[in-house]
């Protein structure tokens, strides 16, 4: 059985790693995997039939219990050997497919790396059917992960990313986002404008400056100096469910003709400008204080924050990108914290990179 597991693992790894490189090799690997499953199911059925016959013989008192166990072990050993021998015959097919895949990857295509990194619709990885038409590539679903460095500004209009009046540390305060989005083309097939709408989650983690910690009193929070030991980390995190809406403008449109129709060629990487808005609903806010007390024991204190953080979020986004990579800036038009929070600045701003972009 170990041989079967090893072969299936090899099929999965090679099939995923080179999914953009050789569709024929993919189908061959899938075919051999099915053959291995078929071998195991077939031989296991024969083995169970022999074991049932042996059990019937035992119940008729034609063999002793000792003889039954001996024959049972012999039957299991016989079929295990048969399965392994038949699977070994398939190894040569798998080896040939793997050699062909490696050869094509190393020597066959000079642009193989581009096929993986800048796949259809500018994705980093694509799980789309390679037989999809150019027209079908003009719309689809993708998954996006992003990381941004965040800060707090005095107003909705302020873009002072490096403001010194903030109570949080820029560069140590981060925002993580995960989004599932649908992309469609606006207008004709030659239009360089696309729209995106999605659903996702966002977590803004603000690292407090000057050894300050959050102190909550009923529905109010204050910033106070820490005095209970050696402070390691002090932060507050706001978590949201978000709905982003983006408009994407292709800056270097390329065109192709398919079935006598002229259309935008979205199968390769392109330069883009993105403008969008987002709205969100907060589902959790929490402060964290990580410190060593006077006995040098590490303490991790967490507290849910209520009453001092706004429940709704609204903001805008601008981004520039090429292929699978987007550099963005996001600005919250609504304050993250309300009047019950003792923060000097309350409006979020962030700059970051979309890290992983996968389409289907």
Burial of 115 from C-beta contacts in 10 A (0-12 / 13-18 / 19+): middle
Predicted local confidence at residue 248, as pLDDT: 95
Does the CA dihedral 305-354-315-360 come out positive or negative? Answer: negative
What is the predicted pLDDT for the residue at 86?
A: 76
Average pLDDT on 60-83 reads: 83
Residue located via tokens 């689809």: 140
Could you give the dihedral angle defined by the CA atoms of residues 256, 261, 262 and 263, in that order, rounded to the nearest 10 degrees?
-80
Question: What is the structure's pLDDT at 337?
Answer: 96
pLDDT at 98: 59
Q: pLDDT tens digit string along 248-294? A: 999 999 898 888 889 998 777 789 999 999 999 999 999 999 999 99
pLDDT band at 103 (very low <50, low <70, confident <90, very high): low
The pLDDT of residue 14: 43
Between CA 322 and CA 326, with CA 323 as vertex, the angle to 5 degrees is 55
With H, G, I as helix, E, B as strand and everything else as coil, classify residue 274.
strand
Instruction: Tell the burial category of 65 from Cβ atoms under 10 Å away from its Cβ (0-12, 13-18, 19+).
Output: exposed
State residue 101's pLDDT score. Answer: 55
pLDDT given at position 210: 87
- CA-based end-to-end distance of the chain: 34
* Domain boundaries defined on the chain: 2-112, 118-359
Q: Which residues of 151-185 are buried (b: 16+ CB within 10 A; e: fewer)?
A: bbbeebeeeebebeebbbbbeebbbbbbbebebeb
Q: Where are the alpha helices (DSSP H) in the chain?
A: 2-17, 23-59, 65-103, 112-117
Between residues 359 and 181, the one the model is more confident about: 181
Q: What is the mean pLDDT of the chain?
A: 82
pLDDT at 305 exceeding the cut of 50? yes
Instruction: Decide if pLDDT at 53 tops 80.
Output: yes
Helix, strand, coil percentages for the chain (3-state, nearest 5): 30, 40, 30
% of residues, the chain, pLDDT over 70 = 78
Which of 22, 20, 33, 228 is closest to 124 using CA atoms?
A: 20
φ, ψ dihedrals at 303, nearest 5°? -145, 130
Q: What is the dihedral of CA 77, 80, 82, 84, to 10 degrees?
A: -140
> d(Cα 350, Cα 60) in Å, to the nearest integer?
80
pLDDT in tens, 117-136: 444 456 666 666 666 788 88
Overall pTM surpassing 0.75 (yes/no):
no
User: What SS3 state is found at 224?
Assistant: strand
Among 166, 204, 140, residue whose Cα is nearest residue 350: 204
Measured CA to CA, the distance from residue 352 to residue 82 in angstroms comes to 57
* Cα Rg of the chain (Å, integer): 30
40 forms beta bridges with: none
* pLDDT band (50, 70, 90) for residue 333: very high
Write down the pLDDT at residue 119: 47
Q: Note the pLDDT of residue 332.
A: 97
Q: Do 27 and 19 form a contact (C-beta atoms < 8 A)?
A: no
């Amino acid at each position: 059985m170990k041989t079967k597991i090893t072969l299936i693992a090899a099929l999965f790894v090679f099939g995923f790693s080179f999914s953009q490189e050789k569709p024929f090799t993919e189908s061959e690997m899938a075919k051999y995997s099915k053959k291995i499953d078929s071998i195991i199911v077939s031989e296991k059925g024969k083995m169970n039939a022999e074991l049932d016959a042996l059990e019937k013989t035992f119940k008729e008192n034609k063999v002793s219990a000792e003889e039954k166990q001996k024959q049972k072990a012999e039957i299991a050993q016989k079929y295990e050997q048969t399965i392994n021998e038949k699977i070994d015959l398939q190894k040569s097919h798998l080896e040939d497919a793997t050699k062909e895949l490696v050869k094509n990857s190393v020597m066959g295509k000079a642009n193989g790396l581009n096929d993986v990194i800048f796949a259809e619709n500018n994705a980093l990885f694509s799980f789309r059917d390679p037989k999809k038409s150019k027209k079908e590539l003009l719309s689809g679903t993708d998954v996006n992960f992003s990381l941004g460095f965040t800060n707090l500004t005095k107003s909705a209009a302020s873009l002072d990313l490096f403001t010194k009046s903030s109570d949080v540390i820029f560069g140590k305060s981060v925002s993580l986002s995960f989004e599932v989005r649908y992309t469609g083309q606006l207008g004709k097939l030659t239009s360089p404008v696309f729209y995106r709408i999605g659903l996702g989650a966002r977590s803004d983690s603000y690292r407090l400056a000057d050894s300050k910690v959050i102190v909550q009193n009923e529905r109010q929070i204050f910033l106070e100096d820490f005095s209970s030991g050696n402070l390691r980390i002090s932060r507050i995190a706001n978590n949201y469910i978000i709905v982003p809406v983006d408009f994407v403008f292709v800056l270097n449109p390329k065109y192709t003709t398919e079935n006598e129709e002229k259309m935008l060629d979205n199968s390769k990487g392109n330069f883009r400008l993105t403008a969008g808005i987002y709205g969100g609903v907060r589902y959790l806010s929490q402060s964290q204080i990580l410190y060593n007390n006077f006995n040098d024991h590490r303490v991790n204190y967490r507290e849910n924050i209520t009453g001092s953080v706004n429940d709704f979020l609204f903001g805008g986004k601008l981004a520039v990108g090429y292929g699978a990579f987007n550099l963005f800036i996001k600005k919250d038009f609504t304050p993250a914290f309300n009047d019950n929070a003792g923060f000097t600045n309350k409006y979020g701003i962030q700059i970051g990179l979309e890290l992983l972009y996968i389409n289907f």
